[in-house]
Amino acid sequence: MRIAAAALAASATALVLFVSGCSDDEPTAEEAASSSASAAATSARSAVESLQNKAGDLLDQGKVNTFVLGFKAGYPSLAEGRSDEEIKQILADTCSDISDGKSDDEAKAALAERVTNNGDKPSDMQTDTLYLLAKPLC
């Protein structure tokens, strides 16, 4: 990406130097080169940031899907009747507990309440396993 930006800047500089030699009203070669290099760097930076945002969104969606699939496969009775969106919300709420600084025990207790389904409560081991699945995804 940097090589392409440098090549673009060099090409633009050469063109500006050629054209600027024909008139006194044109910017100096140094001004034109600086302007071209700045524009190329800004364009390259914008492209990289856009790619990083898209990659981050895909990675986040992959994490959420991992949790949903793991929850459905590992805990069918707790997942029964729940939509993917409801299961995603379990992860989102658990991540909020973690980012809010709740202790592991507090976050696990809240998670156990969230995943309880029609009176079917998770065991301590199931809660621990779900928490271990969720925590690195946050």
Output the six-digit token pair for 67: 């949790």
Residues 6+ apart with CB under 8 A from 68: 84, 87, 88, 91
- The DSSP code for 124 is H
Interatomic CA distance for residues 86 and 81, integer angstroms: 10
Domains of the chain by residue range? 1-54, 75-138
pLDDT confidence of residue 11: 43
DSSP-assigned states of every residue in 43-78: HHHHHHHHHHHHHHHHHHHHHHHHHHHHHHHH-HHH
pLDDT tens-digit map of 17-47: 444 554 455 556 666 555 665 555 555 555 5
CA 20, chain centre distance (Å): 45
pLDDT tens-digit map of 66-93: 999 999 999 999 999 999 999 999 999 9
